[in-house]
A and B are shown apart, each in its own frame.
Chain A
Amino acid sequence: MSAEPWQTAEIPGPLKAFVITKPIAVVTLIKRAKRPIMIVGHEATKINIDEKKLIDYVIEIANAKQIPIVATAHIIKEFKERGVENVFSMPAIDIANRLKDSEWRGLDGNGPYDLAIFVGLPYYMEWTILSGLKHSAPNLRTISLDRTYQPHASWSFPNLTIDEWRTQLNEIITQLK
């Protein structure tokens, strides 16, 4: 299945993300990953999905498989307030710059990550950062869990309605648990 970038003109080139059509794709990628990490942008604290915020879904996903979280921009306090412990604060561009380095030992010093799950960055900034990783980190898989198609990720949702998105996220959480 093909998908179109959310911002119409952000056409990447020949190499585009596989489209996540079923939550099982994400679940399998996460379960297979040896060293996954989640990179969460500030919009996760602003986007509402029903009564919850996107950040709450993110935390549930991370908790289900003990995935460490990088809170970008200034949102670390939102995670702390929600009692999340396995969270680090780092600018989006800094974590990207480290992820591209195959010799970087990770936030815990235990070695490089093999899967980076992105969510909640401004669309175009996530787009450019994922492009950087697509080109410079061939051993890293990336997933975008945003509601919009991110063509530079390895895997991304297509453009979804809020309802479709909520269903997918809930399903991922259930299956991971």
Chain B
Amino acid sequence: MSKKGISVKLDKLKSELAEISNLQLSIGRVITEEWIEPMGPTPAPTLTTLRDWDYKLLQRYKPFYMPYCDVCCLCTMGKCDLTQGKRGACGLDIWCQQSRIVLLACCIGAATHAAHSRHLVEYLIEKYGRDSPIDLGTGVEIEAPITRLVYGEKPKTLGDLEEVLDYVENQITQLLSSTHTGQEGNNIDFESKVFHAGMIDHLAMEVADIAQVSAFGFPKADPNAPLVDIGMGVIDSTKPVILVIGHNVPPAAQIIDYLSETGLMGNVEVAGICCTAHDLTRYNPKAKIIGPLSWQLRFIRSGLADVIVVDEQCIRTDVLIEAQRTMTPVIATTEKDCLGLPNRTFDSVDRIVSDLVDRKAPGAFILDTQKVAEVAVKTALLLAPKRMKFKVIPDAKSIIEGAKKCSQCRYSPCRRACPNDLPIPEAMRQASQGVLDGLANLYDLCIGCGRCEHACINNQPIHSFIIGASERRTREEKFKVRAGRGAIQDVEIRKVGGPIVLGEIPGVIALVGCSNYSNGGIEVAQMAEEFAKRRYIVVASGCSAMSIGMYRDEEGKTLYEQFSGDFDAGGLVNVGSCVANSHIAGAAIKIASIFAKRKLRANYEEIADYIHNRVGAVGIAWGAMSQKAASIASGFWRLGVPVIVGPHGSKYRRMLLGRKDREEDWYVYDARTGEKVYVGPCPEHLFYVAETKEEAMVMAAKLCMRPNDTTRGRAIKLSHYVDLHKRFYGTMPDDIHYFVRRESDIPIMIKDEVMKILREKGWKENVIPDPTLLPRLIKRE
């Protein structure tokens, strides 16, 4: 790994002028070469280094913009009306404005991961030392595939990661600057920068996760990572409960340490929401997961938490207001999220605890994690007997009384505020007559946003009514999820690399992202089950990985209990929190590097070209909502990996769509001959919004096809595509002729049926090339 500077260390220097001892000096940047792989063509790429590659992808997958707003209001010359071809006062058109907003979102996402990563690395260096080794487990030699690929270096210690973050932060600043008024003026160049932001985001995520896996001793690429508890019902309400929310685990981990050190481990429940919960169970499997981010309001209002500790990202910004209703103090622990609380970092623990227990302060902002832990535990122990789990979720009687006050407003402000257009007035009408089923039926579909309550003209606590009406449900909400395993082992990659690239494993389906589901989290579980049964490799992370666990089959088993955690056909792999998404990209990169022996170091274009043409991986971010989800997706796009989002994902305002009917878009070079060969629309789209889970599943099966598939592999992929299509659509797909290259591609069972279609379409056999989009990879004599 390169070192940040020339490191000069003098134990003692004595001269006429001075006597110096223990001097250490760093100047400039120097590579300490320990990695024999020669440097590739694009180390630490800047904004335009990979622009040609981006343009290739964007030529095929053109943006389809769906402006979320007709105007721009980013500078004081606006607002500018950008409808009907009009330009703003700065000359910007609607397409640039959309792509600029997408870039802004991705910069926010990447900056968030970068800042999270920076904090983690600094924290871990302070705790474990700069020379603490990067160690992802015995089976993982390529410890940092994205860092090697993008930055061109191989980190060996925590200290090495700082320099990678220097690069990341520099690039985010450059990217963000291009969104200023009067900078970039071309939408495709904005899109190229979106890809760059995504790639940088993946780098930031990788740094964060390899740092925490190495230093905290999380499961190290372990397919048998423990099964941990998830759900509202897993909490032992007889104990004091500390709830942690967010993504950055040090304060939560410190709480576990403090409990162990003080022998209180079994006396206090520590449970989490969102990715901090994932990482906490990676740190200690005795910790519990409440659920995805949409579980925040319901759990806070349940009153079960005696103290809430928030770190960063996706935390409800009204957490303090909500927590005050249940008399639960909130401890804010990062500079990004102070909640208006006074800084108590330098106060004594006892004073803070007494202020919180006596309700003299609603919370505290504490930057010292050790102090956070001590305050949280002591407060929880003292406050629990006083609070008596005070809740604001009403009982059945109060719900019925409340519902009687509903005016059944003609234009339903509650329903019109609900992102999922849930039939709240009808449920309230039923409740007013003593029937709570209508409200309870909304439980699975409600994303816990609380908008209905703010809109209700009678200030009805509608979300609380839904939760209260589902009291039995929440009590019985006890499931299992496999703790995040982190990286994929090199040996697993060696085993599955061939079958994936040849198409014999039909694909890798990555169920990732947040819980902004249009039709409940169960749909993610159903998709995971379908693909795992079909022996795809199913990987998961973040809120999606949680939703997959919150469902049982007829035998009462969760999917994590049914399917192994191996990165293999039919496996269901939870990699972990949001930042662990880097291991999914990392696995694709490692297939190119380990299985195909492509040069990895700073060789982005070639590896992305390999993945795009050969690795049948598809991301499904069914409930994606955040800017981080946008940047994660864009990191996959630059690698040529398609991503499907659920209906709410259309609000990302831009899709990247192929046109299978335009033959000219689907040619690649045959690296053996240099000939241009038609390979069909494989994969057809790069960013796609599906309306229903059925559509998403069929599309995912289709998007797993790659030009490199062998005939056997293509036949397997086609059989899944056709089978799913027939099951959900009731018909043979009308585009099958695009995907058959040779007769032997056709699955035997449907050969006659397909051949008939092919004859009608005037289909001709084609060669299967050694596909590449990069002319420089043609191996001419």
The interface of chain A, by Cβ under 8 A from chain B, is 6-9, 12-15, 41-42, 72-74, 76-77, 80-81, 88-89, 91-94, 96-98, 100, 121-125, 128-129, 131-132, 134-136, 138, 159
Report the Cα distance A12→B650, complex, angstroms: 15
Contact A125 B647 (CB under 8 A): yes
- Identify the stretch in B63-71, B232-240, B477-485 within 8 Å (CB) of chain A at 4 or more residues: B63-71
Contact of B691 (CB < 8 Å), options: A8, A89, A121? A121
Interface residues of B in 227-257 (CB under 8 A from A): none
Chain B positions within 8 Å of A135 at CB level: 65, 67, 70, 83, 94
Chain A positions within 8 Å of B367 at CB level: none
Contact A129 B455 (CB under 8 A): no
Closest residue of chain A to B519, judged by CB? A122
- Taking A8-B417, A42-B691, A93-B655 as contacts, is the C-beta distance between A129 and B730 under 8 angstroms? no
- Taking A6-B416, A91-B690, A125-B689 as contacts, is the C-beta distance between A132 and B67 under 8 angstroms? yes
Q: Mark B56-93, 1 if CB is under 8 A from A, else 0.
A: 00000000111111110000000001011100000000
Report the Cα distance A38→B595, complex, angstroms: 48
Contact B83 A14 (CB under 8 A): yes
The interface of chain B, by Cβ under 8 A from chain A, is 64-71, 81, 83-85, 94, 411, 413, 416-417, 419, 421, 455, 518, 647-648, 650-651, 653, 655, 657, 659, 661, 688-692, 694-695, 698-699, 728-731, 734
Contact A15 B64 (CB under 8 A): no
- Taking A8-B417, A125-B689 as contacts, is the C-beta distance between A131 and B657 under 8 angstroms? no
Contact A128 B651 (CB under 8 A): yes
Contact B695 A74 (CB under 8 A): yes
Contact of A13 (CB < 8 Å), options: B69, B647, B734? B69
Closest Cβ of chain B to A139, distance in Å, is 12
Contact B691 A41 (CB under 8 A): yes
Closest residue of chain A to B652, judged by CB? A128
Contact B694 A7 (CB under 8 A): no
Contact B64 A93 (CB under 8 A): yes
Known contacts A7-B419, A128-B68, then 16 further A-B pairs from the complex at CB < 8 Å, ordered by chain A residue? A7-B421, A8-B455, A12-B69, A14-B70, A41-B691, A73-B695, A74-B692, A77-B730, A81-B730, A88-B734, A91-B691, A121-B691, A131-B66, A132-B66, A134-B83, A136-B65
Chain B positions within 8 Å of A76 at CB level: 729-731
Report the Cα distance A97→B65, complex, angstroms: 9
Closest residue of chain B to A132, judged by CB? B66
Report the Cα distance A108→B421, complex, angstroms: 36
Contact B691 A125 (CB under 8 A): yes
Contact B84 A13 (CB under 8 A): no
Best-buried of A74, A88, A124, A135 by chain B (most CB within 10 Å):
A74
Report the Cα distance A84→B18, complex, angstroms: 96
Contact A96 B64 (CB under 8 A): yes
Contact of B653 (CB < 8 Å), options: A72, A73, A128? A128
Contact of A74 (CB < 8 Å), options: B657, B661, B694? B694
Chain A positions within 8 Å of B661 at CB level: 98
Closest residue of chain A to B65, judged by CB? A132
Contact A13 B66 (CB under 8 A): no
Report the Cα distance A12→B379, complex, angstroms: 48
Contact A97 B64 (CB under 8 A): yes
Report the Cα distance A88→B413, complex, angstroms: 37
Chain A positions within 8 Å of B81 at CB level: 13-14
Report the Cα distance A81→B730, complex, angstroms: 10
Contact B691 A73 (CB under 8 A): yes
Chain B positions within 8 Å of A128 at CB level: 66, 68, 650-651, 653
Contact B71 A159 (CB under 8 A): no
- Taking A74-B729, A124-B648 as contacts, is the C-beta distance between A15 and B66 under 8 angstroms? no
Best-buried of B81, B650, B728 by chain A (most CB within 10 Å):
B650
Provide 29 A-B residue pairs closer than 8 Å at the C-beta atoms, listed in order of the A residue.
Answer: A7-B421, A8-B455, A12-B69, A15-B70, A41-B691, A42-B691, A73-B690, A73-B694, A74-B729, A76-B730, A77-B730, A89-B731, A93-B655, A93-B688, A93-B689, A96-B64, A97-B655, A122-B421, A124-B650, A125-B650, A125-B691, A128-B650, A128-B651, A128-B653, A129-B650, A132-B66, A135-B83, A135-B94, A138-B84
Closest residue of chain B to A159, judged by CB? B411
Contact of B730 (CB < 8 Å), options: A14, A80, A159? A80
- Taking A15-B70, A135-B65 as contacts, is the C-beta distance between A91 and B695 under 8 angstroms? yes
Contact of A89 (CB < 8 Å), options: B85, B653, B659, B734? B734
Closest Cβ of chain A to B65, distance in Å, is 6
Closest Cβ of chain B to A128, distance in Å, is 4
Those 3 A-B pairs whose CB atoms lie nearest each other, nearest first? A13-B70, A77-B730, A132-B66
Closest residue of chain B to A13, judged by CB? B70
Closest residue of chain A to B653, judged by CB? A128
Best-buried of A76, A81, A124, A129 by chain B (most CB within 10 Å):
A124
Closest residue of chain A to B654, judged by CB? A132
Report the Cα distance A93→B130, complex, angstroms: 50
Report the Cα distance A7→B64, complex, angstroms: 23
Report the Cα distance A98→B660, complex, angstroms: 11
Closest residue of chain A to B411, judged by CB? A159
Report the Cα distance A76→B417, complex, angstroms: 31
Contact A124 B647 (CB under 8 A): yes
Report the Cα distance A16→B387, complex, angstroms: 52
Contact B699 A129 (CB under 8 A): no
Closest Cβ of chain A to B301, distance in Å, is 24
Report the Cα distance A123→B416, complex, angstroms: 11
Contact A129 B66 (CB under 8 A): yes
Report the Cα distance A93→B567, complex, angstroms: 32
Chain A positions within 8 Å of B731 at CB level: 76-77, 80, 89
Chain B positions within 8 Å of A131 at CB level: 66-68, 70
Chain B positions within 8 Å of A134 at CB level: 83
Contact A77 B729 (CB under 8 A): yes
- Taking A80-B731, A91-B690, A96-B64 as contacts, is the C-beta distance between A122 and B647 under 8 angstroms? yes
Report the Cα distance A12→B83, complex, angstroms: 11
Contact of A92 (CB < 8 Å), options: B69, B419, B691? B691
Closest residue of chain A to B98, judged by CB? A135
Report the Cα distance A39→B65, complex, angstroms: 19
Report the Cα distance A1→B730, complex, angstroms: 43
Closest Cβ of chain B to A53, distance in Å, is 16
Report the Cα distance A14→B79, complex, angstroms: 11
Contact A15 B695 (CB under 8 A): no
Report the Cα distance A142→B85, complex, angstroms: 18
